[in-house]
Amino acid sequence: RWVLLKNRENMTGDQQSYLEELLAANQSLMTVYLLKEQLKEVWYCRSQLVALRQWKLWWKQVQDSAIKPLQDFARKLKPYLPGILASAIHPLSTSKLEGMNNKIKVIKRMAYGYRDNDYFFMKIRAAFHPDLR
């Protein structure tokens, strides 16, 4: 299962050969794997028009695949299409947000036992205020 989730460029030689063996043994798995890789490309488009074109191609291939779980996944993903297409114009990452959340957790652990919320929020503001660093 893990070899199916790993990016090809990060695989070792043994993992790549195992993946090839798995995909050769199961045609449906091969189809789903290829469509997964194709869907990932939609997020890397730099134009909404190109992203929409790739989405439509992916959608048609999913419908033609006749793999019910894959079709259900595509149907559930379709309402999020405007946000997916917006990623072509505004490619955002949550890395900064996750770093900020981690820093807030550290401040919270250091302040364990204090009951003053105002002081806690002041420490958070001070941690992220550019002039106070």
Q: Nearest-CA neighbor of 123 among 112, 109, 107?
A: 107
Residues in Cβ contact with 55 at an 8 Å cutoff, skipping those fewer than 6 apart: 42, 81, 84, 85
Per-residue pLDDT for 112 more than 80? no
Q: Rounded to an integer, what distance in angstroms lies between the CA atom of residue 18 and that of residue 4?
A: 10
Residue 127 near residue 103 (C-beta atoms within 8 A): yes
User: 11 or 103, which is more confident?
Assistant: 103
DSSP assignment, residue 114? -
Tens digits of residue pLDDT in 12-48: 878 788 788 878 888 888 888 889 889 988 888 889 9
Q: Rounded to an integer, what distance in angstroms lies between the CA atom of residue 106 and that of residue 23?
A: 44
Residue 17 near residue 2 (C-beta atoms within 8 A): no
Per-residue pLDDT for 113 more than 60? yes
Q: State residue 131's pLDDT score.
A: 64
Per-residue pLDDT for 132 more than 60? no
Helix count (H) and strand count (E) of the chain?
8, 0
Per-residue pLDDT for 72 more than 90? yes
Domain boundaries, the chain: 2-89, 95-132
User: 56 or 116, which is more confident?
Assistant: 56
